[in-house]
Amino acid sequence: MADQYAQFGEDKQSAEIPVIRWDQPPEGPVLVLLDQRTLPTDEVELVCTDAPALVEAIRTLAVRGAPVLGIAGAYGVALAAARGFDVDEAAAALAGARPTAVNLVVGVRRAQAAYQAVLADGGSLEQAAEAALAAARALHREDAEASARMARHGLALLDELLPGGGHRVLTHCNTGALVSGGEGTAFAVALAAHRGGRLRRLWVDETRPLLQGARLTAYEAARNGMPYTLLTDNAAGSLFAAGEVDAVLIGADRIAADGSVANKVGSYPLAVLARYHHVPFVVVAPVTTVDPHTPDGASIEVEQRAGHEVTEVTVPRAPMAGAEAGGGIPVAPLGTQAYNPAFDVTPPELVTAIVTEEGVVSPVTAEALAALCDRSRQV
Ligand code: MRU
């Protein structure tokens, strides 16, 4: 159960955001999340003591964003194991908590496989639980390293694509430290540009309906002292038309084998705009987001979320699963039907490059992505 909320003290507020951590108080191990539902106004910790609480935290976006979903899923398996719950049941529930980000399944399976391997070798339940935790910790560490490498590759690519410097970058949703063991994916590239004195402006799409851009990316940009401006999603077209965007940088929740990219709904229209205006459209994601088992964009399951996220102005504070209303301010007549896909799919021909920790894929082809996955498996 997520039975405790602990307000962050002043002393805990630092440039480094403690997004997810394993803790071992006397009452038993817990997974502590920075609750992203209450940002940017309140920095609150959510303490999960079992997998069902973590599943609820994932569904309601207390923890969200592809890479950290993988890390959370792995720790969730470790939590179930350490507390003596049914690990396979917990793993199935965690893996199914949200369908689109493949990293969640990858993280869950990795910890589950580590657990099962120890048992298959005749190890004890305790040893198996330790192995699951070690796997989660390794994934957490590797994601931080991948993030730093993506930032390096991504900045080199930006410098190559935009030799004049003074990059004006448009981003969508949230792809920073809140989604990662490190500084994130697309946001980490913008941050590297900022640190290198080469970011003129970060344009931040507000990202309706749940405002990940306004609530989370603006929060991270402000904490890092970046020059940023928030815009409504539908203002992006006029921004391109005014010649104010040099590149689009986004993350990904799943990249199909053919290079189709599922990301936060609203990414595909940006890709179309970018193509029309001859602006590079760059996707930044760890290799774990590439799913060789999903052949193409049409095979990606796009999560459909509750209509009240659209018919009300709200942030995802309250549990929403199965709820008629989310407790927000209504902005549409009662009973209005809403179309609310959480993600959309951008075809590979609109993607200038995919930046991973193993290097850059451009042009984006099935062959180049397969070679990248092979390379990363050999490392
Ligand atoms: O619904 P969310 O907030 O989990 O969606 C997150 C995104 O779409 C991110 O852009 C994506 O996970 C990439 S983060 C590296």
pLDDT in tens, 260-312: 999 999 999 999 999 999 999 999 999 999 999 999 999 999 999 999 999 99
pLDDT of residue 164: 84
- Whether the upstream peptide bond of residue 99 has omega within 30° of 0, thus cis, is no
Verify whether ligand 1 is closer than 6 Å to residue 101 (CB atom): yes
Scanning the structure block, which residue is given the tokens 């951590």?
21
- pTM of the prediction? 0.94
What region, left, alpha or beta, does residue 225 occupy, with left being phi > 0 and alpha being psi -120 to 50 degrees?
Answer: left
Ligand 1 atom nearest to CA at 284: 15
Residue 212 among known ligand-binding residues: yes
Q: Which of 60, 105, 211, 212 to mutate to test the pocket of ligand 1 (most atoms within 8 A of CB)?
A: 212
Cα distances (angstroms) measured from residue 318 to each of 37, 48, 91, 379: 8, 16, 24, 43
Q: What is the mean pLDDT of residues 357-375?
A: 95
In this structure, what are the phi and psi dihedrals at residue 32, rounded to the nearest 5 degrees?
-105, 125
Residue 215 among known ligand-binding residues: no
Q: Which of 98, 254, 263 to mutate to test the pocket of ligand 1 (most atoms within 8 A of CB)?
A: 263
Verify whether ligand 1 is closer than 6 Å to residue 249 (CB atom): no
Q: What is the mean pLDDT of residues 107-128?
A: 98
DSSP 56-115: HHHHTTSS-SHHHHHHHHHHHHHHHHHTT--HHHHHHHHHTS-SS-HHHHHHHHHHHHHH
Kindly give the residue spans of alpha helices, DSSP state H, lying in the chain.
51-59, 66-82, 87-95, 102-120, 125-161, 186-195, 212, 218-223, 236-241, 267-276, 308-311, 366-378
Q: Kindly tell me if the per-residue pLDDT of 4 is higher than 50.
A: no
Ligand 1 atom nearest to CA at 210: 3
pLDDT in tens, 127-175: 999 999 999 999 999 999 999 999 999 999 999 999 988 899 999 999 9
pLDDT of residue 153: 98
Does ipTM exceed 0.95? yes
Residue 103 among known ligand-binding residues: no
